[in-house]
Amino acid sequence: MPGRKRGLAVDVLGLVIAVVVLAASAHENTAGIALLDRVAAGTEGTVTKALADQGFKNAVVAHGADLGIDVEIVERNPAGKGFVPQPKRWVVEQTYGILMFHRRLVRDYEHLPASSEARVYWAMTDVMSRRLTRGASPSWRWA
């Protein structure tokens, strides 16, 4: 089974705004442009700023400008050694980590990219419902 590349757009709380699943051979710019298109369509112009990692290049910044979204590339400090969380960028990594608690997302079992995207939305729905209920377990478990 070929590999997949997931792209996530999240808000400051780590909630998923848009998901793009592409072949692993796809370039980062392809994922970034598709992700910006989905963010612009799904938020109806309310998103005006986006932070992206170094994998995205000028094509994504230019496409964001066409959509009215200011895309800022968050660059690593060259003096930093090892893992250093980037400002605001760690929210996406945290969301990826939380989503990996859902077994179907650890490995890619789905045949269609749309099915993989749907699995991410299902997992995020679970995360949101747990946050709303503060992770309370159903009462029938302890009876």
Predicted local confidence at residue 20, as pLDDT:
92
Minimum mean pLDDT range among 85-89, 104-108, 112-116: 85-89
Question: Rounded distance, CA 21 to CA 46, Å?
Answer: 23
Percent of the chain with pLDDT over 90: 6
What b/e string do you get for 30-49 counting C-beta neighbours within 10 Å, with b at 16 or more?
bbbbbbbebbbeeeeeebee
Q: Which position has the higher pLDDT, 15 or 140? A: 15
Amino acid identity for residue 112 in this structure: L
Predicted local confidence at residue 136, as pLDDT:
60
Mean pLDDT for 69-96 is 78
Predicted local confidence at residue 1, as pLDDT:
47
pTM here?
A: 0.76
Q: Nearest Cα to 58, choosing from 20, 96, 27, 91?
A: 27
Predicted local confidence at residue 135, as pLDDT:
61
Contact status, residue 121 vs residue 104, Cβ threshold 8 Å: no
Q: What is the pLDDT of residues 57-71, one digit of tens each?
A: 788 889 889 999 888
How many H-runs (helices) and E-runs (strands) does the chain carry? 5, 4
Percent of the chain with pLDDT over 70: 90
Average pLDDT over the chain reads: 82
Minimum mean pLDDT range among 4-13, 34-43, 101-110: 101-110
5's enclosing H/E stretch is strand 4-10
Q: Nearest Cα to 117, choosing from 27, 46, 38?
A: 38
Q: Which position has the higher pLDDT, 77 or 26? A: 26
